[in-house]
Amino acid sequence: MTDRTVLWTPPRERAEASALADYQRWLAREHDVRTSGYAEILEWSVENIEPFWETMWTYFDVIGDRGEGPVLTGDTMPDVRWFAGATCNYAENILRHAATRPDAEAIVGLHEDERRESITWSALRGRVGALAAWLRERGVAPGDTVCAVLPNIPQAAEALLACATVGAVWSVVSPDFGIKGIADRFAQIEPTVLLTVDGYLFNGTEHDLTGTVDELLEALPTVREHVLVDQLPDAADRAAAAAESRASTTLYSRIVAEPVEPRFEPVEFSHPLWVLYSSGTTGKPKGIVHGHGGVTLEGLKANTLQQEAFEGGRHYSAVATTWVVWNLLVNSLLVGATIVTYDGSPVAGVADKQFEICEREKVTNFGTGAAILSMIEKSGVSPAARYNLSSLRSILSTGSPLPDSTWDWVYAHVSPDIHLGSDSGGTDIATGFIGSNPYDPIVRGELQGAYLAVAADSFDPQGRSVTDEVGEFVVTKPMPSMPVKFWNDPDGSRYRAAYFDAYPGVWRHGDWVTKRPGGQYIIHGRSDSTINRGGIRMGSADICQAVDAVEGVQSSMVIGAELSGGDYYMPLFVVPQPGVEVDEELRKAIVARIRSEVSPRYVPDEIIAAPAVPTTRTGKLMEVPIKKIFQGASPDTINRGTAADPEVLDWYVNHARRFAERRSGR
């Protein structure tokens, strides 16, 4: 805990030119609040939650009716209300940039076949207005739900903004979901309109989806209107024929052919904007509802003050629409940035395809999962030697802890002068809790600190704040983008059980962290996947980070299963790199690395060669459901529809069955 390696320090001139520095000068000038550095402004924002969020509305000149109500009503989470009486519209706060930047690019759409779509701010406003008008003509009213099965293409962002314009509730999943996975999410929110795509190109293969529409509509009986997003150049005739064959189907291109000036519905601050979903690894995914106002304020704060977004910047995130990071990419439009979408394979043609895109589009802010960066690192390529990345100012890594070696790799092989942020937040709040700020140095393995107005802490089991030891990550004061509610949870019981069961009135996120004395954080993985050997706990991510650094290891997963009779079983599953076998020599190297970098206590009971690690479609490790199967839970408790590859899941289920048979002596 004392070995802290500084990898980069923001140049003074860059820090002083940041939006955060401008906000602090504005705060001193307009409100006589004088702070210096990040720690002071963070402390002021946490101690003055209501004044801080009032200034967010004013500083960013949010379009809406502020009203006369208080910023915050209620004393204890989750029974609080933000900006009672205020109204605003998320889409209106984005599309206002069409007035000042009409001919600048708002969205750039990239595809595997090298197609490039360019949509200006004025065109975006007209296309959104046209779809919003069509929705109103079809009877879609505020509070109705509109769902979409779309890849990361410009039309997905346009459709979200059109729904927000009319006050409808939006929800989207990626088209690689099966019918059951889609129905598990959408059927519960009863959409009246469904958008699907004609197809998409991924890893060199064209996926035609026009033939699945009838089955999907049958699974979603509340849908009255279907919109077919026709985007594949060589599928125009097929898409047109599909639209003609079904009375309820309209082609997207026809709807947006003529621009329409949008008419924005002023909705209450907490009016539902979109529904996101819990992982759903056991049981159906829970619908998490966020509101217009909370997302707008948090999006402005996080993008601008934390991540240094700016008007005219160019943002690209390597994401599918199912992941909340796609929503955060769209949020970049709030500050007037251009967003770059891409619906192809992240390694199409070359391992470092993502950096090829960054060079081509002069990306300033690149967001990605930690797993993507680690994969490029392991490929052996050096993007800095292959591409001109001089425009790239920041990389935002999220989804899982970033391995130590990858921190070093970014500065050695991407750029020595870049802000590498490892931020943590998620689907639950549609923003970040802890991570980037423009002032403090980047230290290997550490998140810089809490976001402004986030009362972050680390608790022991008794609810006491702890520093420099492992604890549960908690938030002790409310945030405006915490869920408005869970869908179909009228008394709020499921919402309370998800976050407030351990420490009443305190949000427990489920991450295992170490809080540093200076306010920085280290994340060790999910607290429900903790490895507990002899009462001494260790994060699964800490063990896997050491294992993944062993030459020949592609990836790994470790679980700690509590068994009957007080037994404890700790297997390590290792996915070798191509051409490598998990032989005795590799096993010895893995054990040696765990002994030296973690502790001899955490040498696994078995090291097992595996075909892949099981992940959800958003890249999250499925450690917990696999652990439960080894502990005796039925395989039926796992929702196969959430798995990126159900066959990989089957391999682990079968392995757990064989383990149980061996243990019982059969």
What is the SS3 string spanning 580-631?
CCCCHHHHHHHHHHHHHHCCHHHCCCEEEECCCCCEECCCCECHHHHHHHHC
What string of DSSP letters covers 469-518?
Answer: SEEEEEE-S--TTS-SEETT-TTSHHHHHHHSSSSTTSEEEEEEEEE-TT
DSSP conformation class of 451: P
CA distance linking residue 136 with residue 128, whole number of Å: 12
| Burial of residue 260 (number of CB atoms within 10 Å: 0-12, 13-18, 19+) | middle
Taking CB atoms within 8 Å and a gap of at least 24, the contacts of 577-582 are 577/378, 577/552, 577/553, 578/554, 580/552, 580/553, 581/609, 582/607, 582/608, 582/609
The CA-to-CA distance between both ends of the chain, in Å, stands at 46
pLDDT above 70 covers a percentage of the chain that reads: 98
Local structure of 197: helix, strand or coil: strand
The stretch 517-525 carries a mean pLDDT of 90
Local structure of 266: helix, strand or coil: coil
Q: For residue 368, what pLDDT is reported?
A: 93
Q: State the average pLDDT for the chain.
A: 92
Phi, psi of 84 (to 5 degrees): -60, 130
- Tokens representing residue 165 in the block: 């314009």
The answer to whether the CB of 220 falls within 8 A of the CB of 177 is no
CA distance linking residue 215 with residue 612, whole number of Å: 31
Q: For residue 362, what pLDDT is reported?
A: 98
Q: For residue 233, what pLDDT is reported?
A: 82
Structural element, H or E, at residue 94: helix 90-95
The answer to whether the CB of 172 falls within 8 A of the CB of 218 is no
Residues forming beta bridges with residue 88, ordered by sequence position: 64, 267
The stretch 446-459 carries a mean pLDDT of 97
Least confident of 321-325, 358-362, 483-487, 565-569: 565-569
- DSSP strand pairing (249-251 vs 225-229): parallel
> Which of 414, 316, 309 lies closest to 362, judged by CA?
316
What string of DSSP letters covers 269-309?
Answer: TT-EEEEEE---SSSSPPEEEEEHHHHHHHHHIIIIIIT--
Q: What is the pLDDT of residues 200-255, one digit of tens each?
A: 999 899 888 888 899 999 999 999 999 999 998 876 777 777 777 787 899 999 99
Task: Print burial letters for 302-315: b (CB count within 10 Å at least 16), e (below 16).
Answer: bbbbbbbbbeebbb
Least confident of 129-138, 188-197, 372-381: 372-381
Q: For residue 282, what pLDDT is reported?
A: 57
- Tokens representing residue 4 in the block: 């802290």
The Cβ of residue 611 has, within 10 Å, a number of other Cβ atoms equal to 13
**Most confident option among 242-246, 307-311, 639-643:** 307-311
pLDDT of residue 536 exceeding 70, the answer is no
pLDDT above 90 covers a percentage of the chain that reads: 75
Q: Please give the C-alpha separations between residue 337 and each of 101, 121, 365, in angstroms, as whole numbers.
A: 10, 10, 10
Task: Scan for tokens 């206590």, then name that residue.
Answer: 601
Q: For residue 1, what pLDDT is reported?
A: 45
Q: For residue 2, what pLDDT is reported?
A: 53
| Burial of residue 243 (number of CB atoms within 10 Å: 0-12, 13-18, 19+) | buried
The stretch 449-472 carries a mean pLDDT of 94
Q: For residue 399, what pLDDT is reported?
A: 79
pLDDT of residue 454 exceeding 80, the answer is yes
CA distance linking residue 619 with residue 613, whole number of Å: 10
What is the SS3 string spanning 526-553?
EHHHCEEECCEEECHHHHHHHHHCCCCE
The stretch 579-600 carries a mean pLDDT of 91
The stretch 511-523 carries a mean pLDDT of 92
Higher pLDDT, 340 or 643: 340
Q: For residue 534, what pLDDT is reported?
A: 62
| Burial of residue 453 (number of CB atoms within 10 Å: 0-12, 13-18, 19+) | buried
CA distance linking residue 541 with residue 545, whole number of Å: 6
CA distance linking residue 327 with residue 290, whole number of Å: 11
pLDDT of residue 280 exceeding 80, the answer is no
Instruction: Place 281 in a pLDDT band, splitting at 50, 70 and 90.
Output: low
CA distance linking residue 607 with residue 586, whole number of Å: 10
Report the interhelical angle of 292-300 vs 324-331 (nearest 10°): 70
**Edge-to-edge strand list for the sheet holding 87-88:** 64-65, 87-88, 267-268
* 369, 374, 379, 380: CA torsion to nearest 10: 130
Residues forming beta bridges with residue 555, ordered by sequence position: 575
- DSSP strand pairing (485-486 vs 470-475): unpaired
- The reply to whether the predicted model has a pTM over 0.85 is yes
